[in-house]
Structure 1
Amino acid sequence: MGASLESIPLLPLFQEAKKYAEQDPNKIAVIDRTKGQSFTYRQLLGDVSATKKWLLEKAGLESTGDLEERRISFLVPNGYDYVTMQWAVWAAGGVCVPLCTTHPVKELLYTIGDSQPSLVVIHPTFEKVEAQLREHVDAIPFVTFEPLSAASEPSNLSLPPFSDSLSVDRRALMIYTSGTTSNPKGCVTTHKNITFQASSLVNAWEYSPSDHLIHVLPLHHIHGIINGLTASFLSGATVEMYPKFDPKTIWERWQDKGSSTMFFAVPTIYSRLVDYFDAHIRGTEQEAAAREGARALRLIVSGSAALPTPIKSRFLEITGQTLLERYGMTEIGMAISCGLDVEKRLDGSVGWPLPGVQVRLADKETGKIIEGVDEDGIIEVKGDNVFLEYWNRPEATAKEFTADGWFKTGDVARRAANGAYYIQGRASVDLIKTGGYKVSALEVERKMLGLDSVQEVAVVGVPDDEWGQRVAAIVKQRPGTAPLNLDDLRRQLKEEMAPYKVPTILRVVDAIERNAMGKVNKKDLLKKYWPDA
């Protein structure tokens, strides 16, 4: 990618990274477990500079030195290469469109087609996927990312020059929503939004340069990008990155007591950690070290889905850790969080508004602001954390805001007398939260109706202690087709959708009840087929 150093704009994130690189040339920013290498803040800034130059050349904009908010899609695995790619796009003045490493080709093509990037950057890890994408994308150039290696003497590396060339009001990141009521939308945030979201967490959760985060979350998602990467780097912490979550690896890692301080995950991960402990560690020689190691972490956070009380209680029994719960979404980052003090981690609550974030409740039908306590209302949010726009969808953007500028989340909550919020669920039953992901029941239904054997279908979320909800499909089969079973259904749908969206429960019925308007009452279906849930 070239040896000469391009200037890096003094965006807040880069300014802080420069400070840590100058204070300690050996300060580690990223430990990449796939590569088995560590990378300093100093090397990170140098690699970002070189990658910026490479991006501008590939985009044909080396003479201007600015991507001018052009979108750059990239498919890069979790690790140092991802961080460098993300920062290089920002340094060049572009907008990051990270692609999900587990999505099937059809979903990747949708994201690329909708965002219309100037470049699609593919890591060699995804060489086979690249070949399939290229078959369907003609007008957008593809380029291959060259994997990076740790320098032998990182402290001797020179820092690149810095400039004040970019405004924090520039568009910076486009993350796609789950497509609850329509196709997924590109949610655009600015550098100002990103910095505010991360700084708010740094303030509330007290990140510091002494922190060491074990990072296992996907990086096409707000949780992994902002909570995991941006807030950590803004505070000079070290991020140890793994390609995916494995309970055995995490328990072994925690037994190195005191070598890590933070862990962020979704409820499904904590369920798997508990199950692994009970099956493989409890009663063995490792038990004491595992318990003590987990207890030594200063902060363990659960989010992206409701945390079932049984999982929270079992994790507390094993580790002595009361999981901290918070509430956020793609459009707003994190908005509400329980406190660092254990006394402020209330069971069933997501806590209080984060620093600088305004939160209110409004009546779903009238829009009237709810001032009292213990009343259900739609959560509305205002502040510098709130996104700029849905890409190329001005009407959809305007629809999600009130006349006085508050974002309508679509989630229902109650506020207690102490000001803490308790999430009651989505205003619509068509959003299923499973394993930390949001799944659109309508999207799954659309895909299933494309199968020859499916005549009618209703998709619902069945409550589950491990997953939060499981995706369940109630199907009226098309006459004359071969009998439908769950294994065949899942195999067909995995070619169309991400694995977490594919139903894990199937009920084949003679008819799906509808009202006079032809609509299905999904609450009635849940009561009929899963009365105990």
Structure 2
Amino acid sequence: MSLLPALQDPAGSPATREAVRFGEQSLGYGRLAAAADALATRIAQAGRVAVWATPAPETVVAVVAALRAGVPAVPLNPKTGERELAHIVSDSAPSTVLAAAGDVLPPALASLTRVDVDTAAAPQPSDASFPEPSPESPALIVYTSGTTGPPKGAVLPRRAIAATLDALEDAWQWTGDDVLVHALPLFHVHGLILGILGPLRRGGSVRHLGRFSTEGVARELESGGTMLFGVPTMYHRIAEALADPTASVGLTKALAGARLLVSGSAALPVHDHERIAAATGRRVIERYGMTETLMNTGVRADGEPRPGTVGGPLRGVELRLVEEDGSALTDPASIGEIQVRGPNLFTGYLNRPDATAAALTADGWFRTGDMATLDPDGYVRIVGRKATDLIKSGGYKIGAGEIENALLDHPGVREAAVTGEPDPDLGERIVAWVVPADPGSPPPAEELAGHVAAQLSPHKRPRTVRYLDALPRNDLGKIMKRSLHG
């Protein structure tokens, strides 16, 4: 089966059916297929191409063209700094960069052949013929954030993309009738694979907001959108907007009418879950994935939306929790590292066999570095990253996530992050980083510690509280805890 069957044969649905829309710019399936095929013919011998991944229809045409031609594509974040961008270009060695005609490209791309993407091709029968590549052939090379060194290129085969999107079709009852709304960046798995290739694989459509706004969400959901994809920062802003009864009528109605509200890329605080549900009657569901594994778990459309969980393993995905020594966890209610195995996995890190070997067990399980517990019915509760969110204090293993949720329940807290710092007595002490709701009158540290102790247990209370104007976040809204220092 083709990775994008509706574009392989756009006659399978009306050629004028909208495939993607960015503001006033819209491409139907016929026009997208014609533009992609014309570009695919030009790059068929390129070897590997970089894509200047702006939130624009040119990015969609470029990626689809690369997939049609069987040429691996390297999506580039336009906000990447020169040093990091130079590393990605040197490591992935593309011959060509695909960009919109008006894009100004940085010096790090000067050595590449530039091809401007034309989206104006008229729908017409195409003589272009592109054999379907092997399922194991690389489709995308997506660079990870590189928290402990330069970013690594995760090689994602066509097999993994198809497996993940088909598992989500099953879990979310995703069809060609769905219209997806999102404002996620197109250089990463969430926005590009789930948010663009997902609708195109189903023969549905996607409306990209370009830049997130609650007004844009309300407008597109009220005018036919059925699904919304977002990250916790976006849903937090939605929850804040819903709290204003004079300004939220349209937003409340739009969200209430959506078929599915999905959050990912980081944990959505329980407090925001509850605020959105109370205002709209609709629950946000979560899913869990990584660049290297694509999607691992998800709350099903016909399942129970349970705040604080990311559902159970998706179809075809095996998941287990292990102890620090790699042995299987005997008590699923205790904290262990998530390992996954299945057709959704990457084939390895480009040019890094050492890193690939370190990431996989001898029997093919991927070490995610994420810590979790399992509910009795298999729902996964992620407590955080092994490196930054697992705190060993006073003989206890403590997940930062549950303390963050407890802090967010305090009316004086707008944002919160929890880390561990060395302590001569406890091993590690719990540190809370708090953005107060009222900067002029932050809640006292003793009050916050008591609040957490009352909700959880005394050994989980923060021993130190530090106040900030804002938490450091990356492009996907994830808190960058490595930037938090005393």
Q: TM-score, normalised by structure 1?
A: 0.72
Structure 2 residue 360 is the aligned partner of structure 1 residue 372: no
Aligned to 2:363: 404
Distance 1:28 1:357, change over 3 A: same
Distance 2:178 2:157 in 1: 26
SS of the equivalent of 1:181 reads coil
Structure 2 residue 309 is the aligned partner of structure 1 residue 349: yes
Aligned to 1:47: 35
Aligned to 2:77: 100
Q: Which amino acid aligns with 1:53?
A: T
Aligned to 2:267: 306
Aligned to 1:185: 152
Distance 1:505 1:118 in 2: 34
Distance 1:29 1:501 in 2: 29
Distance 1:133 1:228, change over 3 A: same
Distance 1:290 1:324, change over 3 A: same
Aligned to 1:339: 300
Question: How far is the alpha carbon of 1:29 from its aligned partner?
Answer: 1.0
Distance 1:237 1:16 in 2: 9
Aligned to 2:229: 264
Distance 1:407 1:231 in 2: 24
Aligned to 2:12: 22
Name the stretch that deviates more: 175-184 or 247-256.
247-256
Distance 2:384 2:297 in 1: 15
Taking only aligned residues, the RMSD between alpha carbons, in angstroms, comes to: 3.2
Contact in 2 for aligned 1:308/1:465 (Cα 8 Å): no
Aligned to 1:421: 380
Question: 1:381-530 maps to which residues of 2 (within 5 A)?
Answer: 381-429=340-388, 462=433
Distance 1:410 1:503 in 2: 16
Query: Deviation string for 1:162-188 (max 9, x for gaps)?
Result: 453521211111111111222210000
Task: Choose from 320, 332, 341 the match for 1:360.
Answer: 320
Question: 1:3-402 maps to which residues of 2 (within 5 A)?
Answer: 12-19=2-9, 21-33=11-23, 36-56=24-44, 61=45, 67=46, 70-127=47-104, 130-134=105-109, 137=110, 140-149=111-120, 151=122, 154=123, 157-256=124-223, 259-279=224-244, 282-283=245-246, 287-341=248-302, 344-364=304-324, 366-402=325-361
Q: Which amino acid aligns with 1:141?
A: L
Distance 2:16 2:297 in 1: 35
Q: Percent identity?
A: 31
Distance 1:19 1:119, change over 3 A: closer
Question: How far is the alpha carbon of 1:240 from its aligned partner?
Answer: 1.1
Contact in 1 for aligned 2:266/2:478 (Cα 8 Å): no
Distance 1:176 1:204, change over 3 A: same
User: How many equivalent pairs are there?
Assistant: 420
Q: Which amino acid aligns with 2:343?
A: D
Distance 1:309 1:389 in 2: 34
Question: How far is the alpha carbon of 1:379 from its aligned partner?
Answer: 0.5
Contact in 1 for aligned 2:383/2:389 (Cα 8 Å): no
Distance 1:428 1:75, change over 3 A: same
Distance 1:201 1:373 in 2: 25
Query: Deviation string for 1:422-443 (max 9, x for gaps)?
Result: 1111111189999xxxxxx9xx
SS of the equivalent of 1:344 reads coil
Distance 1:98 1:106 in 2: 16
Q: Which amino acid aligns with 1:428?
A: A
Structure 2, unpaired ranges of 5+: 391-399, 405-418, 420-430, 438-467
Contact in 2 for aligned 1:48/1:88 (Cα 8 Å): yes
Distance 1:126 1:20, change over 3 A: closer
Query: Deviation string for 1:119-175 (max 9, x for gaps)?
Result: 123333431xx25335xx5xx323141442374xx4xx2245545352121111111
Distance 1:87 1:271 in 2: 32
Contact in 2 for aligned 1:27/1:41 (Cα 8 Å): yes
Query: Deviation string for 1:449-478 (max 9, x for gaps)?
Result: xxxxxxxxxxx9936699xxxxxxxxxxxx
Question: How far is the alpha carbon of 1:221 from its aligned partner?
Answer: 1.1
SS of the equivalent of 1:126 reads coil
SS of the equivalent of 1:13 reads coil
Aligned to 2:447: none
Aligned to 1:445: none
Query: Deviation string for 1:349-392 (max 9, x for gaps)?
Result: 1110001111111112x211124320211111101101001000
Structure 1, unpaired ranges of 5+: 1-10, 62-66, 435-440, 442-459, 467-485, 508-521, 526-533
Contact in 1 for aligned 2:242/2:276 (Cα 8 Å): no
Contact in 2 for aligned 1:37/1:149 (Cα 8 Å): no
Question: How far is the alpha carbon of 1:207 from its aligned partner?
Answer: 1.1
Distance 2:66 2:340 in 1: 29
Distance 1:300 1:170, change over 3 A: same
Distance 1:261 1:238 in 2: 10
Question: How far is the alpha carbon of 1:344 from its aligned partner?
Answer: 1.3
